[in-house]
Amino acid sequence: MSRKFLILAGGLLVLIILPALMWNGLIQQGNASAFDMLLRLSPARHSLARKSVVLLAIDDETVSRYGGLPLDRAVVAEGLKRVASGAPKVLVVDVLLSERTREAADASLADALRRFPKVVLASALEATQDGKQAHWITPLPEFQSHAFALGHVHLEPDRDGVARTLLLTKADADSRYWALGLEAFRAVFDAQEPPTEYSKGISVGSRYVPAAASNDRLLWIHYDGPEGTFRRVSLASVLDGRTPASSFAGKVVILGVTAQGAGDRFYTPFSVGLGMSGIEIHANIISTLLDGAYLSPLGPLSEFLWLLAIVALVATAAWWRDGRLMTPVAITGVVAIPVVSYWMLRAGVIVPVASALAAHVAASLVGLLADARFIRDRLGEAVEGRQDYAFRLQAVAHEIKTPLTAIHASSQLISEPDISERKKEEIAQRIHKEAGRLSGVVTTFLDVERISAGVLKLQRREIELAALVAEAIERAGLLALKKKIAIEKDLDTVVVLADPEMLQFAVYNLLANAVKYSPDGSSIRITLRSGPQVACLVVVDQGCGIEPVEQKRIFERFYRTKIHRDHVESGSGIGLALVKEIVTQHGGRIEVESQPGKGSSFSVFLPREAAL
Ligand code: ADP
C-alpha cells in the first residue's frame, strides 16, 4: 500500500467519522468544558451592568436577624421602602409572591412595590400534582397590579449541571412569559411594548437580541465572572441603615434569597464547588443583554467546514514534501486550535474546541501512521541498498583480487636473481595484461555506478549503427577465434542519435557474452534491422541458454546464473545490468529469449526518437 493511498483512505475515514466527532456525547461535553475554560480565561469586560446592578440579598445575616425563611413580608417591605427612597430605576424580584401571608404584611409589601417606578416580578411554570399539566405560578394580584412585567425564572442547566444558556421565553398551553432578565432589560429602556419577534431574533425597544425562533430563543449567558462580581447588599444592612438608600439611586435592584440551603443555585462556567445564586445569574443575564455581549455557536455547516479545513490541512501536511511538515503541523494544531478558539470566543463565536482537537488528532494520527509506514519503507530500501552495495563491493573485491594476486606473484618472481631475460619479458607482459584487466574491472564498476546514479550523461550524436556493430564484432573476433566460433552478420544501414561509446560498450558486451557462454565451434548471428518505429539489433547464439526463471534476473546487477556462478566462466554479473541501463537511457528496451542447452537471443530495440 502506498503512502498516498493510506493518506487518502485515512482522510476518507476521518471524514466519515467527522459527524460522529461533532455530535458525540463525550466530545460535546469536552466542547462545553473547553468553552467554560476559555470563558474563564477571557479578561472581564467593562460591563455596563456592573455599574448599574445591585443585588439585594436575603442572606444568612438577614435570615438570622429577622426570622427564618420565608422571611416575613413586612420585613421585606420595610427594606424595600428604604431602597425605594433612594430612587432606584428598576426593582427585580426573584422571589415568587404567589401565596398569601398575613394580610397586613402583604399590604405593606404591595405598598412598598408601588414606590418603585418599575417592578419586574417572577413567575414560574410548575407541574400540577398529577405531574401531567403545567401551570404558571404568578404573583398575587395586588402585587401584579403595579408590576411593569412578569418574567419567568427558569434556568435549564446542561447535562453536566452547568447553566450556560437561557430560554428567553417559556410557555404553557395558555400563556407565555419572557425571561425575568429580559423583562428587566426592557424595563431599563422603558420599552413599553413587549418584545417584537423575528425569526432570527427579537427586538426590545431599539435593541436587537439575536435569539432564533428555530432554536427556542436560546441565549448564551456571557458570564462576567464568578459569584461576587456584581455588587451585593444584604437586606439586613439596608434595614439597620448600614447601606444608605442613596447607593440605590438609578440602579437596577435585584432582590432574591442567597441564604444557605435556600434559593436557587446553579453551577456556571465560573463556579468552583458552590453554585452561583439565582440573583447573580440574573445579573449576568442582564449584563449580557445590556452589553450586547452575545455569544453564538458555529452552525452545523460552519462547524463541519471548520473540521474539514483542519483535516484538509493535516492531510496536505502529510502529503506535501514527503510529510516533512506532518510532525510540526500535528504539534502546532494542538496549540493553535485552542488559541484560535479563544480569539473566536472573544469575538463572540463559540468554536467546538474538543471536536476540532479530536478531528485534528485523528487526522494527525492517520497522517503520522501513513508517513511512518513510508519512512519504514524508505528505511527498508536504504537497508536493501546497503546490502546491495556491500554485495557489490565483495564482487568487485573478488574481481580485483584475481589479477592482483597474479601481479603480486609475478612481481615477486621477476625480482629473483637467476631468472632469464625471456622469462622476465614474459612475466612483464603478464603483469601488464593483469593490470589492464584490473583497470577494466574498476572502470566498469565506476561506469555502472555513474550510469545508474544518472551522473553519466549520454553524449548523443548521429552514428551509423551498422558500422558500430561491425567494430564490436571485430573486437570480439579474437575471443571468437580462440573458440572457433563463427560470427555471421546481417546489418541494415541505420543512423541513430546515440552515445557511440556507451552503445559500443553495450553491443560488445552482448557479443562477448555470446562468445563466452557458447561452446567451441558454435556460431553467433547478429542482425540489425531498421523498422518503421524502431531500430532492432538481435544477437543469437547456440550457447548454454538460460533457465526461464533466471531470464529476468540476469539484468540485475551482479546476478550470474546458477551454472556460471561457480567459476565455469569468469565474470562479475554487471555487464548486462550496464547494457540494460544504457539501452534504457537511450529510451529503448532489451529482451531475452532462451532455451536452456540450445541457445539465447538478445534483442535491443531503440525507439524512433533515438533513431534518425
Ligand atoms: P557476467 O557475464 O560478467 O557474468 P553479465 O551481466 O554480462 O555478467 O551476465 C549475467 C549472467 O547472465 C551471466 O553470468 C550468465 O550467467 C548469463 N548470461 C549472459 N549472457 C548469456 C548468454 N549469451 N548465454 C547464456 N547465459 C548468459
pLDDT per residue as tens digits for the range 365-389: 888 887 777 777 778 777 776 776 6
pLDDT of 22 reads 66
pLDDT digits (tens, 9 = 90+) for 164-214: 999 999 988 788 999 999 999 999 999 899 999 999 999 998 899 999 998
CA 41 to centroid of ligand 1, rounded, Å: 76
> How far lies 607's CA from each of 5, 78, 499, 588, in Å?
34, 110, 14, 6
pLDDT digits (tens, 9 = 90+) for 259-309: 887 778 899 999 887 889 999 999 999 999 999 999 999 988 898 899 889
Q: Whose CA is nearest to atom 11 of ligand 1?
A: 560
Percent with pLDDT over 90 in the chain = 53
pLDDT digits (tens, 9 = 90+) for 425-475: 888 888 888 888 788 777 766 766 666 666 666 788 888 999 999 999 988
Residue 610, pLDDT > 60, answer: no
Q: Please report the atom of ligand 1 found closest to the CA of residue 539.
A: 23
pLDDT digits (tens, 9 = 90+) for 110-124: 999 999 999 999 999
Q: Which residue has the cell 427585580?
A: 92
Instruction: Tell me the HSE value of 63 on the side-chain side, using a 13 A CA sphere.
Output: 15
171: β partners: 176
pLDDT of 220 reads 96
Residue 351, pLDDT > 90, answer: yes
pLDDT digits (tens, 9 = 90+) for 2-47: 667 777 777 777 777 777 766 778 888 999 999 999 999 988 888 8
Total Cβ atoms within 10 A of residue 111: 15
CA 508 to centroid of ligand 1, rounded, Å: 13
Q: In testing the pocket of ligand 1, which one of 517, 549, 581 has its CB within 8 Å of the most ligand atoms? A: 517
CA 258 to centroid of ligand 1, rounded, Å: 99
Residue 130, pLDDT > 70, answer: no
- Which residue has better confidence, 261 or 335? 335
- Which residue has better confidence, 612 or 517? 517
CA 561 to centroid of ligand 1, rounded, Å: 7
Residues near ligand 1 (Cβ within 6 A): 509, 513-514, 517, 541, 543-544, 546, 554, 559-561, 564, 571-577, 600
pLDDT of 546 reads 94
Q: Whose CA is nearest to atom 16 of ligand 1?
A: 561
pLDDT of 342 reads 95
* Helix pair 353-414, 3-23: axis angle to 10 deg: 160
pLDDT of 612 reads 46
Q: Whose CA is nearest to atom 14 of ligand 1?
A: 560
pLDDT digits (tens, 9 = 90+) for 527-539: 999 988 789 999 9
Alpha carbons 483 and 481: distance in angstroms, whole number:
5
H or E stretch covering 231: strand 231-234
Q: Please report the atom of ligand 1 found closest to the CA of residue 541.
A: 23
498 phi and psi angles, rounded to 5 deg? -155, 170
pLDDT of 1 reads 54
Q: Which three cell numbers stand for residue 333?
A: 494544531
Q: Whose CA is nearest to atom 19 of ligand 1?
A: 513
Average pLDDT, the chain: 87
Q: In testing the pocket of ligand 1, which one of 398, 485, 554, 567 has its CB within 8 Å of the most ligand atoms? A: 554
Q: What is the largest CA-CA distance in the chain?
A: 151
Q: Please report the atom of ligand 1 found closest to the CA of residue 514.
A: 23
pLDDT of 569 reads 58
DSSP codes, 271-333: -SSS-EEHHHHHHHHHHHHHHT---EEPPHHHHHHHHHHHHHHHHHHHHGGGGTTHHHHHHHH
pLDDT of 454 reads 63
> How far lies 438's CA from each of 20, 339, 515, in Å?
70, 68, 21
pLDDT of 221 reads 96
Q: Is the peptide bond before 70 cis (omega within 30 degrees of 0)?
A: yes
Q: Which three cell numbers stand for residue 343?
A: 480569539
CA 554 to centroid of ligand 1, rounded, Å: 7
CA 260 to centroid of ligand 1, rounded, Å: 99
461: β partners: 498
Q: In testing the pocket of ligand 1, which one of 560, 572, 594, 598 has its CB within 8 Å of the most ligand atoms? A: 560
